Amino acid sequence: MAGVLAADPTLADFGKDPLWITIVKAVMLFLFLALGVVFGVWFERKLISRMQHRYGPNRAGRFGILQSIADAIKMGLKEDILPRTVDRVLYLMAPVIMVVPAFLAFSIVPFGPVVNLLGVQTPLQLVDLPVAVLFMLAMGAVSVYGVVLAGWSSRSPYALLGGLRSAAQVVSYEIAMGLSFVAVFIFAGTLSTSEIVGAQQQTWYAVLLIPSFLIYVVCMFGEAARIPFDLPEGEGELVGGFQTEYSSSLKFALIMMGEYLHTFTASGIAVTLFLGGWRAPFPISMWEGANTGYWPLLWFFIKFVLTFCFIIWVRASLPRVRYDQLMSLGWKVLIPVNLGWILLVAAVRNVVINEGNRMLALAITGIIVVGALAVWMRFDTVNQRRKEARKAQVEAEFEELSKEPTAGGFPVPPLDLPHYHGVSRP
């Protein structure tokens, strides 16, 4: 295992690559994401069709694998329609603002340890920072400007509402997502993605910090605006959301690419922070060479694909929630639970590091648990009373309306005038 530990990258291993190696890694990452979007669209359509007992794409190429390429060529060659009333500069910039931060956010995701790439010892990661996870959160926040500008510059009420929904949704779920990372930072002692992967050598944080992992999974759907949290583009009430005025052209293709890249980034961060990153799962990890060389690329890719499959499965299984339910979940459930969990994790971590304060830490843990239970019971009691009061109010209104059908409801014709073929009979 000494060779495995020696291959683990740290912050000191970055910034030493020749310029041409950095360019090679950047091109490889770009090709992985660009081709991943093309293949991911086909894979999602194919997997959902199998879940719904359909064939999915099966005409263009073998198994329909060329369908996404045909769609990309079609959108690139279609006429680019520019509505007359839009703000031209912001309208054209919005799709670019959505795509570029998504590419940048994936640059801090580690794919493997230090390897020999074209004769140079380099980590399988484009760049790492002391605050790499914060950089990812910042890129996710910047991309929201693209959504908001797309809605505002379209000068359409539906597009504007979709942009405002996206801004409110990201503010809500960005906070909960950031809080779900705090427990990881406490245990890893760093914000560097490569060192967080190294800290999961013994136990994945998805097992050790399962509440943080579950909260992140929920926030992942809200951050990427995927079903059941794709409210910014809910076609039931907003036609097409912020992208209503974008025709099926190259701009529309960039918007779709940006959304898929955010899904890829969310999957990559889940693998990196909670699922051991590029480390081999048990029992493959018992093999001494499992975490050396280029083998970790395979383990990372398998975890990445399985996470993406989970996102597709949720899309095929759950309906879209109401917007008030979405915001209530973020502000009233995820954030308070996250704060209580962080206090508990800090107390337990203090027990592990500082044995002298064991009793104090246990007392703080007990107080937090009892306080959380008390707040939950109180919250549940208040909700139950409100439900009962609302039910009684609805029943009273129904009884009142049943006495006089025309009171407070839709106007109805008199029920005592018989009709025959549209003509009243005397």
Q: Could you read off the pLDDT of 38-62 as tens digits, one per residue?
A: 888 899 889 998 888 888 888 888 8
CA-to-CA dists, residue 97 to 38, 133, 251, 261, 419, angstroms? 20, 20, 11, 13, 63
Predicted confidence (pLDDT) per residue in 403-415, tens digit = 555 555 555 555 5
* CA–CA separation, 411 and 406 (whole Å): 6
Handedness of CA 218, 219, 222, 223 (dihedral sign): negative
* CA–CA separation, 120 and 56 (whole Å): 44
DSSP one-letter string for 74-122: HHHHS-----TTS-HHHHHHHHHHHHHHHHHHGGG---EEEEEETTEEE
Write phi, then psi, for 254 (nearest 5 degrees).
Answer: -65, -40
What's 329's DSSP letter?
A: I
User: Can you read off the two tokens belonging to residue 271?
Assistant: 């693998």
Whether 145 and 97 have beta carbons less than 8 Å apart is answered as yes
State residue 174's pLDDT score.
84
State residue 276's pLDDT score.
87
**pTM (2 decimals)?**
0.79
Predicted confidence (pLDDT) per residue in 245-303, tens digit = 787 678 888 888 888 888 898 899 999 999 988 888 888 878 887 888 888 999 999 99
Predicted confidence (pLDDT) per residue in 377-426, tens digit = 666 666 677 777 777 777 777 666 655 555 555 555 555 555 544 554 44
The amino acid occupying position 262 is: H
Domain ranges of the chain: 2-320
The number of beta carbons lying within 10 Å of the beta carbon of residue 129 is: 17
Residue 86: which pLDDT band, with cuts at 50, 70 and 90? confident
Residue 309: which pLDDT band, with cuts at 50, 70 and 90? very high
CA-to-CA dists, residue 132 to 72, 104, 107, angstroms? 32, 11, 9
- The beta strands (E) that lie in 118-223 are given as 120-124
State residue 306's pLDDT score.
93
What's 257's DSSP letter?
A: H
Residue 2 in this model has a pLDDT that exceeds 60: no
E strand or H helix at 423? strand 423-424
Predicted confidence (pLDDT) per residue in 224-237, tens digit = 778 788 777 765 56
Write phi, then psi, for 250 (nearest 5 degrees).
Answer: -65, -35
* CA–CA separation, 330 and 220 (whole Å): 12
Q: Which residue is it, tokens 């306080």?
A: 371
